[in-house]
Structure 1
Amino acid sequence: MPPSPNRTATADARRRTAAFQHPASGGTARTRTTTVDIVVPVHNEEQALPGCVRTLHSRLRAGFPFSWRIVVADNASTDRTLHVARELARDLPGVEVVHLDRKGRGLALRTVWAASEADIAAYMDVDLSTGLDGLLPLIAPLASGHSDLAIGSRLAPGARTVRGSRREAISRCYNAIVRLTHGVRFTDAQCGFKAVRTEVLRPLLEVARDDAWFFDTELLLLAEHNGMRVHEVPVDWVEDVDTRVDVVSTARDDLRGLWRMARLKASGRAKVPVPPRPAPSAEHPDAVLAPASGRSLLTWELGCFAAVGLVSTAGQALLYWVMRGWWPPALAALVSLLVLTVLNTEANRRLTFAHSDAGPARAHLGAGGLFVLGYLVTSAAVLWFTRLVPSASAGAEAAVLAAASGAVTLVRFTVLRLAVFRRPGRTLRRK
């Protein structure tokens, strides 16, 4: 039985990487130099492909300081895209083509990246919406070893974009949903301008499953979940209205993907054996280092938890005071506690216990049990006070509520620290 086109493409790509050359140097092989594969995934892009590849090729030859190769990944095009790509590969040194018989940008990237033997694997969209001035800042932190994955961001400070209000709103809403549901720190999951060190990429590809547009978000969620350092590059980005993206179906698939990733992280299967990053160390030979101690971490946790708790308590009392004019005490206490519990939990997850690998689902579910305790205690306190002093003002009731909330703070901290936000080190010692 003859091999499938996908397997043939993968095998050919592996053979080609054995003789990695720098096209700008006339084909002379260079050793001990960072090598970069830049993949351009395409589907029915016969019009846009020549301008993309020739422009990118010219910029790379003009002054890109690393050994490079452009790989056009044609995924099941039905027009002349494959023919055009092969013509470009014949005309331009350092350009190669891989053909897949199935459609999907994620599939194309996973196939080519898995076969790459370069030090860094990158990709960009064929429309070159992202300015190529951002390419070197994208690759440099990976080549130096400072970061594991680098992404172009249209939402980071300093980025400049030219796009319609509809696409701007969709992009911001989607990235807000990603940050809210997964608590990530990167700002732009969808920009088609990314690079990753292949040393850390391969374990991620073992877990990544998406074949379409969600692949970018999936890779980033896995990287951050496994403690990788993600570097963001603010980019210049100009919208190309000739897009192949079906916004409605893509949005639906993205939401499904976010739910799948939440379940994957909750089950523990999102953890992969990535190469460990060396621990921070002082560069100066005479530096006086503070002794390593768990006390400093506990001090930070206590201080940060107290600060978050004070703000939350004040916010709950204020919200209760506002709603007390509309609702009875029990309902006002319930709503105010529910709102501030969600905000308090998220603040503690991102600040107080930032060292923990607990995801949003585990954090908020764990805090849900504490919410029941807090509601029972605070509601009972307010009801008791209103019966004891029927003529009490809403301000006095709010003060009683604040005191009752403070009473459960110590219990909440202990449970959150020992059960919900366990430190990764504790889990490893038990294993």
Structure 2
Amino acid sequence: MTATVEGVPFVTDGATGAAGVPGGPRATTVDVIIPVLDEERALPGCIETVHRFLRESFPLPWRITIVDSGSTDGTWELARRLSRDLPGVAAVRLETVGKGAAIRAGWSASGADVVAFMDVDLSTELPALLPLVMAVVSGHCEIAIGSRLLGGARIRRSFRREVISRGYNGLLRVGFRAGFTDSACGFKAARAEVIRPILAKVADDAWFFDTEMLLIAEHNGARVREVAVDWTEDADSKVRLWRTAWADLRGMVRVARALSSGAATVELPRPPDPAPAPSPPARIALVRRLVSFGLVGLASTVVHAFLYLLLRTALPVEAANLLALAATAVVNTEAHRRWTFNRRAGRRVVAHARAGLLFLLNYAVTTTAIVVTGAGPRWTEGLALVCASLAMTAIRFTLLDRWVFPRR
């Protein structure tokens, strides 16, 4: 089964129907861009491997787009043949040379919800593609990147490349306060509607493209998430390390100027707001409040009675009850505000002022109950105090809920 997008089919066999970005009912479509330049040897094996992996293991509608950026060998003819022979494979020809130019063209022209790219040498193991894409589809980020330097990554490469890579990414973290660890890994995905305005600000067409894109994205508030990957160095890589490193340093200077001058500022679509947590049914919420109120009240009453009996050995009834009640009132009020009624926002001073009036009412009722019992053993005073406190429970619950901590 296929769904035609811009005349090129997205393969949907086995798709799970996951919600589209940013949450619509349509299944999310994914376009995997593979930039190539004079890759007639590597291209057929790469496309057949990726095609087989996506067909057998990828749950979302997908398409592979080969972007040839000015090849002079037989790469373009191979790309056209592959697009004719394999469903879900498209081929695009550019005259501009450069990996960055190829990715920009492929991502900008794609009609997919999520766009991704990988290097033709398949240095990164393909099982990392689904976690990469799902980080974007889930709404947890706008851009997801593979990282060879993240904990859990397994890599095989030369000591020289390891030192250069760590030094380069260290410069980015120090100079730009970058939140990512590996900008150059050729394994990335992005939400299409977010990445397009960012691409318009990226000037580099070559190997610095990835870094410039990520720096501009973070500068404008896009969320970048990393996925640890398994990566093996390609011995036949076309990357010239020292020449590329020098070009990257010049690119960093240029990007720093653009960021500081405001030239790299863009307006990005807002990420979808998270769905609010469902409110519990009214009966369950009431039971929860009553249980919390009872537990807090019971603890306060026990402490109140204990302090009263302790103070009563040296003080008259009125003073002992006042001090004992005052010692528990503030903690009791704050506990109800936080746990029983969950009213953490709002005017705390007003709430405590109203609770003070309720304190005076509680003090008057409990003191009267003790005095009415008359002279007798101390335990009878404690019993009268507890009974009066329990009698105030229903009144306190209603006043706290409706008046002290009113719903907003």
- Of 228-237 and 262-271, the range deviating more from structure 2: 262-271
Q: Which amino acid aligns with 1:209?
A: A
The yes-or-no answer on 1:144 pairing with 2:138 is yes
Look up the match of 2:234.
240
Alpha-carbon distance in structure 1 between the residues aligned to 2:149 and 2:187: 13
Deviations 1:249-280 (A, max 9, x none): 21111111111111111112222100123566
2:105 to 108, 111, 131: 111
Look up the match of 1:57.
51
1:291 to 1:261, Cα distance in 2 relative to 1, 3 A: farther
1:242 to 1:145, Cα distance in 2 relative to 1, 3 A: same
- Aligned Cα RMSD in Å? 2.4
Look up the match of 1:199.
193
Q: Which amino acid aligns with 2:239?
A: V
Look up the match of 1:371.
none
In structure 2, the gaps of 5 or more residues are: 19-24, 281-338, 348-408
Percent sequence identity is 51
Alpha-carbon distance in structure 2 between the residues aligned to 1:90 and 1:276: 39
The yes-or-no answer on 1:267 pairing with 2:261 is yes
Q: Which amino acid aligns with 2:159?
A: S
Deviations 1:214-271 (A, max 9, x none): 1100111011111111111000001111011121221111111111111111112222
2:202 to 201, 208, 233: 208
Q: Which amino acid aligns with 1:23?
A: V
Deviations 1:10-34 (A, max 9, x none): xxxxxx733453435399x998110
Alpha-carbon distance in structure 2 between the residues aligned to 1:61 and 1:193: 19
1:278 to 1:22, Cα distance in 2 relative to 1, 3 A: closer
Look up the match of 2:345.
291
Alpha-carbon distance in structure 2 between the residues aligned to 1:223 and 1:36: 20
Alpha-carbon distance in structure 1 between the residues aligned to 2:115 and 2:9: 15
Q: How many residues align?
A: 277
Look up the match of 1:164.
158
Q: TM-score scaled by structure 2?
A: 0.64
The yes-or-no answer on 1:33 pairing with 2:27 is yes
Secondary structure of the equivalent of 2:80? helix
1:191 to 1:26, Cα distance in 2 relative to 1, 3 A: closer
Secondary structure of the equivalent of 1:25? coil
1:129 to 123, 127, 144: 123
1:87 to 1:275, Cα distance in 2 relative to 1, 3 A: same
Alpha-carbon distance in structure 1 between the residues aligned to 2:31 and 2:43: 17
1:175 to 154, 169, 173: 169
1:157 to 1:289, Cα distance in 2 relative to 1, 3 A: farther
Is the 1:21–1:67 Cα contact (8 Å) retained in structure 2?
no
Look up the match of 1:42.
36
Look up the match of 2:380.
none
Q: Which amino acid aligns with 1:166?
A: R
Secondary structure of the equivalent of 2:67? strand
Give the structure with higher Rg (CA). Answer: 2
Deviations 1:71-118 (A, max 9, x none): 111111111111111111121111111011121011111111111111
Look up the match of 1:228.
222
Alpha-carbon distance in structure 2 between the residues aligned to 1:168 and 1:215: 20
2:5 to 7, 17, 21: 17
Alpha-carbon distance in structure 1 between the residues aligned to 2:224 and 2:142: 6
Is the 2:30–2:114 Cα contact (8 Å) retained in structure 1?
yes
Q: Which amino acid aligns with 1:215?
A: F
Look up the match of 1:83.
77
Alpha-carbon distance in structure 2 between the residues aligned to 1:24 and 1:91: 17
> How far does residue 292 in structure 1 lie from its aligned partner after superposition?
8.6
Q: Which amino acid aligns with 1:115?
A: A
Deviations 1:156-176 (A, max 9, x none): 110000111111111111111
1:282 to 1:23, Cα distance in 2 relative to 1, 3 A: closer
Secondary structure of the equivalent of 1:195? strand
Secondary structure of the equivalent of 2:31? strand
In structure 1, the gaps of 5 or more residues are: 1-15, 294-431
Alpha-carbon distance in structure 2 between the residues aligned to 1:91 and 1:280: 42
